[in-house]
Amino acid sequence: MTDPPLPSGDQPLLRPHVFDGIQEYDQRLPNWWLMTFYIAIAWFVLYWTLYYQGGFFTSDSDRVTAQLQAIHQAKTKELEKLLSTLDNDVLWAWSEDPNIRREGQAIYSRICAACHAPDLSAKLAGAPLPGLPLNDEDWKYGSQPLDIFHMVSKGSPDKTAPVQMPPWESVLSPAEIAKVSAFVLSHHVHRPPPPAQP
């Protein structure tokens, strides 16, 4: 195929090649287009330098990390504050408070009932569930209120056992753990701790 003739005068220049029957004008791009293009390039260089190299702005990931750290610190502080006042007697008292019991029961139904059964027997229609019964007097990890609180926070101490209870401290706040522990305790009678063995 032969190239088309070149135009003359004010006509836009027709490039001397044809591909698949398509011809091309050699037009100068309009100034507004070129300016936008050059400004975009300059803006990229400025932005990249300031944002990624200069450290003048906090990036999104830094902001998320800082917020997560703040949440973690707030939780730790709340835990410290709660633990400084929380003892076995306080938890026993909470277990007799109907409002706290109701809140604890709501958490229990939402999270714990799946493995420990709604009636705490760890059995559903006679079939055993994964958890241990919480309404009997057998306690594998201690019967004192703070034993229960710590078991619920940290989960099973033996992380290699085939059947374990997950830790709940990342799901529930310390106060929620105390309330759900109080709900479990409300199914028990307040007994003084056994005397220390000589």
124 binds ligand HEC (CB under 6 A): no
175 binds ligand HEC (CB under 6 A): no
Sequence-ordered list of residues with C-beta below 8 angstroms from that of 155, at least 6 positions apart, any chain: 164, 165, 166, 167, 168
Report in angstroms the alpha-carbon separations of 30 from 33, 37, 119.
5, 11, 78
Judged by CB under 6 A, the residue of 86, 91, 151, 185 near ligand HEC is 151
Judged by CB under 6 A, the residue of 168, 179, 185, 188 near ligand HEC is 168
109 binds ligand HEC (CB under 6 A): no
The Cβ of residue 145 has, within 10 Å, a number of other Cβ atoms equal to 26
Can you tell me the distance from the alpha carbon of 79 to that of 92, in angstroms, rounded to the nearest whole number?
Answer: 18
* 76 vs 135 by CB, closer to ligand HEC: 135
* 14 vs 141 by CB, closer to ligand HEC: 141
Sequence-ordered list of residues with C-beta below 8 angstroms from that of 191, at least 6 positions apart, any chain: 143
The contact set with ligand HEC (CB under 6 A) reads 111-112, 114-116, 130-132, 134, 139-141, 148, 151-152, 156, 161, 163-166, 168, 180, 184
